[in-house]
Amino acid sequence: MNSHPNHYDIVIAGAGFSGTITALALQRSGFTVCVIEKGMHPRFAIGESSTPIADMILRSLSAQYDLPWLYDFSRYGSWQQSHPEIVCGIKRGFSYFKHHPGKTFYTDADHSNELLVAASVSDSMSDTNWLRANFDGFLVNKIQQYGIDYFDNTGIISATRTNNQWLFKMSRQGTVSSAQASFFIDATGSGILADQLFGVQSSAAGFLTNSFAVFSHFDQLPRWSSLLEQKNISSNDYPHDPDNSALHHILDEGWAWALRFNNNRTSWGFALNGENPSFQKMTTAEIWNTIRNRYPDIDQILSCGSLAQQPGRIIQSGRLQRKLDHGYGEGWLAMPHSIGFVDPLFSSGIAWSLAGIERIVKALSENKGFGEPLYDQLQQYEYRCFEELKLIDKLVAGCYKTMQNFPLFNAWSMMYFTCTILYEQRRLNHQPVGYFLDADNLDVQQIVHATYNDLLKLTEQDTISSKHIAQFTNTVRQRIAPFNTAGLLNPNSKNMYRHTVAVM
C-alpha cells in the first residue's frame, strides 16, 4: 500500500473541458484522479465552436460513464432548459462570405460570394458555441463535486519516475508540494509541458498550412444579417441565420471568424496566411488595423463594438501549427489538443478532443495495471492522431490556397464536408469508429490527395480561367459522388445546403 498522502492512479495536467471530462470519465471507470491547473478559473479561452460530431460524442460519454447532466450540453435547446446561466450560442452550421479588398460585400442571385451549410434542422436541435470561461469553469466545479482532487494556480516543476510511479513536484504561490501517480495525462493544450517534463519537442515541421491568429472577445458587435439587410441583400433562401452559425468572412489574406454568444458577446479573430511577408514586420495593432482598413464591412462591424472585459486586449498567436514528436511515453500520454493543432477553420478542435477522450479512457480502462498491452494501444493512438492531423492539415491548406478565388474555395471545402459526413454517418449507424473524419478511409484519402494535387497545379498558374474553375468543380463533384448524400455541389443548391447530417 502506498503511503504518499497525495497518491493517485492518474494525474491530469490542464483543467480545460478536455482534462476535466477525461477526469470524470476515468473516475467513473474506477480510477483515483487528480487535476492540476497552472491558472485559475474562470479564464479566457478560444476554441469555442462545437459540431454534430462533438454532440454525438458528448451524448455517448454521458451514457457510457453515467454522467447524465453532460447530455444536456449536446444541443442548444436542452442546454438552455437545463443551464441557461452557462453562456453559449446557437450554431446551426457554417457560413462563409467572400470579401474583396477595398470593396463592400456584394453577391448575386446564385450566391456566388456565399456558402451556407446547415448542420441541424432547428435552433433547439443545433450545435453550440461555448463561452469557454463559463463552460470550463462549470466542469471544474463538477469534478470537485465528484470528489476529484483539484489544485489550481499550481505549476508542475518536475516529474521523476521510479518503480513505475511518478513523483511530481508542484509549486503553488511559492509553496512546494508533491503528488504521486502511476500514470500522467497532458491535457494542457500545448507542447510546453511535454518538453519540460519529458524532453519531447513540438514543432511546425511538415505542415502544409502556415497561419497565425489575432483575436479577442467583443461586446455589442452588430449582426452580419443586419448589414446584409442594409445592403438589400436577401437572405430569404438561407438555410439559417448566418449569425447563428460559425460565421466565416473569407479574405484574400486569410479569414475572420465570428462566433456569437447569447449574452451579446462575440468571439472574433483573424486567421491569416503566415507566408505573407508583410505581416512579419507588423505589430499586432498594425496587423489588426491593416485588415480592417482593407475591408470596409469588417471595419464597420468592429467599429461598433467594444473589447470585452475578458481578455480586454487583442492577442496575437505565433504560428498555429504544431505537433509533438511523440504523443506518449513510459507512464504518460498527451491528449489530442496537446499532441498538435492545425487551424480553427473547420471547427475540428472540440470534436477531435472529445474523440481522444473516448479512446484514452477506453484504453486505460482495459489496462488498469498500466502494463505492456496498454502501450500497444497508445502506439496506435499516437499513429491515429498523427494521421488525423495530416488530413486536417491538407483540408485546411487547400482552403488557404483558394481564399482569393471563392469558387475554388467553395469546391475544395466540399472535401471537408464529405469527410465529416462519412464520419457522422458511421457514428449514427453504430458502426465501429475508426479514425477521426474517416482518416483511415483509403478511398476518401486517395480522393483528397489527388484533388489537392490538382488544386496545387491550378493555383500555381498565373491566371485561372472560369473554364478551369468549372473543370475543377466538376472533378470534385464526380469524385465525391459515391459518398455525397447531402447534394454537395449540386448546381441547383446555389451554395445553400439545408441539412448535411442525418437526423440525430
What are 227's three cell numbers? 448589414
Each residue's pLDDT tens digit, 297-345: 999 999 999 999 999 999 999 999 999 999 999 999 999 999 999 999 9
What are 164's three cell numbers? 513505475
CB 149 within 8 A of CB 6: yes
What are 394's three cell numbers? 491538407
Please give the DSSP secondary-structure letter assigned to residue 163: T
Euclidean distance between CA atoms 46 and 24, whole angstroms:
22
CB 10 within 8 A of CB 181: yes
Euclidean distance between CA atoms 33 and 362, whole angstroms:
15
Each residue's pLDDT tens digit, 250-288: 999 999 999 999 999 999 999 999 999 999 999 999 999
Give the pLDDT band of residue 503 (cuts 50, 70, 90): very low
Please give the DSSP secondary-structure letter assigned to residue 433: P
CB 398 within 8 A of CB 345: no
Handedness of CA 262, 263, 264, 267 (dihedral sign): negative
Same fold, 7-83+131-203+321-380 and 90-128+211-316: no
Burial tier of 426 (Cβ tally within 10 Å: 0-12, 13-18, 19+): middle
Instruction: Indicate the domain borders of the chain.
Output: 7-83+131-203+321-380, 90-128+211-316, 405-497
Three-class SS state of 487 = coil
Euclidean distance between CA atoms 201 and 483, whole angstroms:
38
Euclidean distance between CA atoms 427 and 342, whole angstroms:
24
CB 161 within 8 A of CB 130: no
Each residue's pLDDT tens digit, 337-369: 999 999 999 999 999 999 999 999 999 999 999
pLDDT for 504 equals 44
Strands, E assignment, 231-305? 246-250, 254-260, 265-273
Euclidean distance between CA atoms 494 and 497, whole angstroms:
8
- Cβ neighbours of 354 (radius 10 Å): 25
Find residue 127's DSSP bridge partners.
91
pLDDT for 361 equals 98
- Side chain identity at residue 441, one-letter code: N
Each residue's pLDDT tens digit, 106-140: 999 999 999 999 999 899 999 999 999 999 999 99
Q: Nearest CA to 53 among 314, 267, 261, 351?
A: 351
Helix (H) or strand (E) holding 324: strand 322-324
Backbone angles phi, psi at 340, to 5 degrees: -175, 175
pLDDT at 6 > cutoff 90: no
Straight-line distance from the first to the last Cα atom of the chain, in angstroms, rounded to the nearest whole number? 47
Find residue 203's DSSP bridge partners.
323
- Side chain identity at residue 237, one-letter code: D
- Mean per-residue pLDDT, 219-225: 98
- Mean per-residue pLDDT, 136-158: 97
pLDDT at 500 > cutoff 80: no
CB proximity list for 463: less than 8 A, separation 6 or greater: none
What are 419's three cell numbers? 469527410
Each residue's pLDDT tens digit, 396-407: 999 999 999 999
Q: In CATH, what is the architecture of 7-83+131-203+321-380?
A: 3-Layer(bba) Sandwich (3.50)
- Mean per-residue pLDDT, 52-66: 97
Mean pLDDT, the chain, rounded, equals 96
Please give the DSSP secondary-structure letter assigned to residue 447: H
What are 263's three cell numbers? 449574452
Determine if the peptide bond prior to 42 is cis (ω within 30°).
yes
pLDDT at 502 > cutoff 70: no
Out of 3.30.56.10, 3.30.9.100, 3.40.50.720, 3.40.50.300, the CATH code matching 90-128+211-316 is: 3.30.9.100
CB 449 within 8 A of CB 394: yes
Burial tier of 24 (Cβ tally within 10 Å: 0-12, 13-18, 19+): buried
